[in-house]
Structure 1
Amino acid sequence: MTDLVTLVADAAERWPARTAWRFPSEQNLTFAEVSELSAGYAQALRGKGVTAGDRVAVMLPNRAEFPLLWLALARLGAALVPVNMKYRSADTEHLLTDSGAVLLITEDTLDDLKPEPGFDQQPIDPAAIVNVQYTSGTTGVPKGCLLSHRYWLALAGSLVDEFPHLTDSDVMLTAQPFSYVDPQWNVVAALLSGAELVVLDGFHPSTFWADVRRHRVTYFYCLGAMPNLLLAMPQDSQDQDHAVRVVQCSAIPPSRHADLEERWGVPWFEAFGMTETGADIRVGADEHDELVGTGCLGRPAAHREIRVDDAGELLLRGPGMFDGYLGHPAPWRDGWFPTGDLARLDEQGRVYLVGRIKDMIRRSGENIAAVEVERVLMDHPGVRLAAVAGVPDEMRGEEVKAYIVGDVAENDLRDWCTERLARFKVPRYWEFRAELPMTSSERVAKNLLS
């Protein structure tokens, strides 16, 4: 298997009448329909002038057209630029300008794009870029990660060939927006394994497990604040009445790990990955029991090498990584990707994170570049100096705090940010000062802010 187009064709041949996707509003598609409709959208996009090498931005909620358009673009040799539905003017403008997208598809324009017959599939280059996936990366404003067919097949293949060994007996579930990388790898893994994929319209803690039970889900992945939010829900006599065999989760709260497993009667497995590198490190079934509550990330996947350098930074290497950042210098260090995370290895080669060296804030699973928020704040005429940092938060991991020097009211600044940034990037806490501590190079000394 070398590319997404062959993957779709193979799935349609092996499981034509089986349900491939279940979306909100009973938008269900078989594997054969996924193949047919993705080809139909490819023909429609070709009629709009989209050709190989083009980039097309898609800003849609969780509906079947999102992955269908992605697969259609892959058929054309073009690339998807996912746009978060929460984005406002400044966020969206950056993505569209930076990516050079030739077209933006939204709910308002989707009615003008209908599947058309007669698509003639041309040969596919496995090295072709199929996604420009924006992430805040290690530093700075969001950068476009160039993801190829090989990236996606390496990621999905590791989930089929290795733990959790997804098969056509599984029912997967994702509750993240399709602009995230997580639902996208769920799509590829489901096509590769023959699993059914259930897509929710979003993450709703009060109804999440009811959806899991209703669809007889056997596997799901979660991250960020999701575990704590689920635990905060009232206990239910049906908590352990489900078909889930595996939960994979990034950054499981060590102090709550055992509580999660005891409440729902299913093992939760730590997993680590990045948009840039795919599925890298995970805890397997054989070591799960001894590692509950330790915060251990586990061991690298078979296709991934790891190293901790002299400064303590976690480095990754191996096939199936991204092809760099659009318009930015190559990030590699002698073939290794620097994660920006500080880590240590135990005597058995298992990985533990100990901190971050990047100026990033991790709020409810969202990566927020402090400099991105600072630039919006500094654009306000009443702000003379601004600094943004993360502060610990029991529920969300971190919250965004802004330190301001200027003559402006908090409400005015909050409204200013809300109009220009996604809501999750808007500072929750505000502190106004006469001055901020500075370094000798005239930069804010953030280590002296608290």
Structure 2
Amino acid sequence: MRSTIPAALGDAADRFGEHPAYVEGDETVSYLELLRRVRRAARGYVAAGLRPGDRVVVWAPNSISWVVAALATSYAGGTLVPANSRYTGHEVAEIVDRTSARIVVVEDGFLGRTQIADLRASSDLASVALVLDLKDLADLDMGSVTVADVDLLAESVSPDDVADILFTSGTTGKPKGAMSAHRQTIGVARAWGELGGVTGQDRYLVVNPFFHSFGYKVGIVTGLLTGATLYPVATFDLEATMSLIETERISVLPGAPTIFTSLLNAPGRADHDLSSLRLAVTGAAVVPVVLIERMRDDLEIDQVVTAFGMTEAVVVTMCREGDSAETVATTCGRAVPGMEIAIADTQSDSGAGELLVRGDFVMLGYLDDPAATAEAIDDEGWLHTGDIGVLDDAGNLSITDRLKDMYISGGFNVYPAEVEQALARMDGVADVAVVGVPDERMGEVGKAYVVGSASPDDVIAFAKERLANFKVPRYVEVIDGLPRNLSGKVLKNALRGSQARTSGTEES
């Protein structure tokens, strides 16, 4: 089988046929039916003007329709650009404009919002031929485009073609589009599935959002390769999740540590049979040893592993079955097949240094940004991650610090520079710095230190209008001035270590 997403979909339909591919509420879609729906949507895309290499932005929560919209993009020879379902119209409009997207697919009305109106108010969408509500996906006008036409497009897709562009951010705060080829997206999904032992007998609850590589590549694509049945979850509801695990006998549940902490602390957990869970993969934040122990002992999950990855290299390391709770909790495991890791500028006393990553799954580069690509990937192919790590004698990686200021809130990466740029536009904010602070439930949350006349309540309200909820600072403290070094750089370590009283407002 060629290493392309259309080929994987066709192969899955041949191998797994009427076996359930997706279950969402009362709806069950087989692998054959999934192929039929993807072909139909792809015909509609082509009829609307999509051409090979064109970009399709999908801005919606997890659903079967999201999967169809995404796979149809690849089937028609296009490039998928997922957008965070919590993003504002301004944030998505920037992605649409920067990618010159030809089609934008949204779930209008999600969380009571007006996504299509917000998008049109934020940009003239000059490149866009079609803005499509997901509910209308099955009714797209296919014109004279036939199944044979789109099958030919699918067959013409090369393993080296760009499959997807996932946006991330760096220290500048400006989002960067990490491009991956089909062979990379397929390869990383295969590696993850093989290490987890995922098969067609598994029932895989996808709490991780599809717009994230964890939900898309090791969710949707892993499903195509293994025949597992996926259960997409649009928004996490604790009681509903436990009921679903029990009634559907869910066996695979990847997610951020907060998911498992919530399950363990759920008042009604004893009323649900969660014994079907056999594989849990977590990471994205510091994982306490006791959490891994409780996942194994209290939830009775046979295989609990942690992993490390990033948008630029989706899966780099992963623990293996049989690793101790200490290893799983304190390390991210060893390099996966096809990848290698190294520590640069090792400090003699601790062995720590910047983590370098090289191998099959490192991105092709950043969209339209050769300078940023050259800065990230050196002449020998090493991706400089900006994370400080250390390797033990067995090759297990531990992340000890970050060169960048990024923090992780509820499993989502938050880049303070992006938040700071938004808040800096507010009247009454003369200066601002944002850092991540510990939070029992979310892992980390944002705290903004503001210089100026703006009140904490007003700062949070301003941020809510312009940023996704997980980026909005939980705390705001008004101070007289930011600590800076002689070159003017804000000393964020001093802010993190500050014991000053928080004259702030907590955003729930």
Q: TM-score, normalised by structure 1?
A: 0.94
What corresponds to 1:285 in structure 2? 321
Q: State the SS of the aligned residue for 1:207.
A: helix
What corresponds to 1:332 in structure 2? 377
- Cα 1:179/1:288, change in 2 over 3 Å: same
Q: State the SS of the aligned residue for 1:322.
A: coil
* In structure 2, C-alpha distance between the alignment counterparts of 1:300 and 1:309, rounded to whole Å: 16
What corresponds to 2:50 in structure 1? 50
- The answer as to whether partners of 1:198 and 1:215 remain within 8 angstroms in 2 is no
1:322 to 363, 367, 381: 363
CA offsets 1:178-222 (integer angstroms, 9 cap, x no match): 222222121111111111111122222233222112111111211
Q: TM-score, normalised by structure 2?
A: 0.84
State how 1:367-386 maps to structure 2 within 5 Å: 367-386=413-432
Shift of residue 417 of structure 1?
0.8
1:234 to 267, 281, 286: 267
Q: State the SS of the aligned residue for 2:70.
A: helix
- Cα 1:336/1:243, change in 2 over 3 Å: same
* In structure 1, C-alpha distance between the alignment counterparts of 2:325 and 2:432, rounded to whole Å: 46
Shift of residue 419 of structure 1?
0.5
Shift of residue 284 of structure 1?
0.8
Q: Establish whether residue 192 from structure 1 lines up as the match of residue 221 from structure 2.
A: no
Shift of residue 319 of structure 1?
0.8
- Cα 1:126/1:219, change in 2 over 3 Å: same
What corresponds to 2:114 in structure 1? none
Percent of aligned pairs sharing the same letter: 31
Q: State the SS of the aligned residue for 1:297.
A: coil
CA offsets 1:164-189 (integer angstroms, 9 cap, x no match): 12111211111123222222121111
- The answer as to whether partners of 2:319 and 2:328 remain within 8 angstroms in 1 is no
Shift of residue 37 of structure 1?
1.0
Shift of residue 225 of structure 1?
2.1
Q: Establish whether residue 177 from structure 1 lines up as the match of residue 178 from structure 2.
A: no
Q: Establish whether residue 419 from structure 1 lines up as the match of residue 465 from structure 2.
A: yes
What corresponds to 2:84 in structure 1? 84
What corresponds to 2:288 in structure 1? 253
What corresponds to 2:180 in structure 1? 147
CA offsets 1:26-48 (integer angstroms, 9 cap, x no match): 23211011111111111100111
- The answer as to whether partners of 1:131 and 1:148 remain within 8 angstroms in 2 is yes
- Cα 1:379/1:194, change in 2 over 3 Å: same
* In structure 2, C-alpha distance between the alignment counterparts of 1:320 and 1:9, rounded to whole Å: 23
- The answer as to whether partners of 2:208 and 2:254 remain within 8 angstroms in 1 is no
Runs of 4+ in 1 over 4 A off after TM superposition: 238-241
- The answer as to whether partners of 2:264 and 2:299 remain within 8 angstroms in 1 is no
What corresponds to 1:28 in structure 2? 28
* In structure 2, C-alpha distance between the alignment counterparts of 1:440 and 1:289, rounded to whole Å: 45
- Cα 1:208/1:40, change in 2 over 3 Å: same
CA offsets 1:28-74 (integer angstroms, 9 cap, x no match): 21101111111111110011111111111111222212111111111
Q: Establish whether residue 269 from structure 1 lines up as the match of residue 305 from structure 2.
A: yes
Q: Establish whether residue 389 from structure 1 lines up as the match of residue 435 from structure 2.
A: yes
Shift of residue 322 of structure 1?
1.6
What corresponds to 1:164 in structure 2? 196
Name the structure where helix makes up a greater proportion of residues.
2
Q: Establish whether residue 437 from structure 1 lines up as the match of residue 471 from structure 2.
A: no
2:240 to 207, 213, 225: 207
* In structure 2, C-alpha distance between the alignment counterparts of 1:173 and 1:386, rounded to whole Å: 40
Shift of residue 136 of structure 1?
2.4
* In structure 2, C-alpha distance between the alignment counterparts of 1:391 and 1:194, rounded to whole Å: 41
- The answer as to whether partners of 1:73 and 1:130 remain within 8 angstroms in 2 is no
Shift of residue 107 of structure 1?
2.9
- Paired amino acid for 1:92: V
Q: State the SS of the aligned residue for 2:44.
A: helix
CA offsets 1:210-239 (integer angstroms, 9 cap, x no match): 211211111121114222222221253355
* In structure 1, C-alpha distance between the alignment counterparts of 2:197 and 2:136, rounded to whole Å: 40
What corresponds to 2:251 in structure 1? 218
- Cα 1:241/1:386, change in 2 over 3 Å: closer
Q: Which range moved further: 199-208 or 387-396?
A: 199-208
- Paired amino acid for 2:197: H
- The answer as to whether partners of 1:138 and 1:339 remain within 8 angstroms in 2 is no
Aligned length: 447
What corresponds to 2:506 in structure 1? none
What corresponds to 1:244 in structure 2? 277
Q: State the SS of the aligned residue for 2:388.
A: strand
* In structure 2, C-alpha distance between the alignment counterparts of 1:292 and 1:425, rounded to whole Å: 28
Shift of residue 420 of structure 1?
0.5
- The answer as to whether partners of 1:77 and 1:129 remain within 8 angstroms in 2 is no
- The answer as to whether partners of 2:69 and 2:105 remain within 8 angstroms in 1 is no
Q: State the SS of the aligned residue for 2:42.
A: helix
Which structure is higher in RCO with an 8 Å CA cutoff and minimum separation 6?
1
- Paired amino acid for 1:65: S
Shift of residue 359 of structure 1?
1.3
Structure 2, unpaired ranges of 5+: 109-131, 347-352, 499-508
Q: Which range moved further: 354-363 or 230-239?
A: 230-239
Q: Which range moved further: 70-79 or 240-249?
A: 240-249
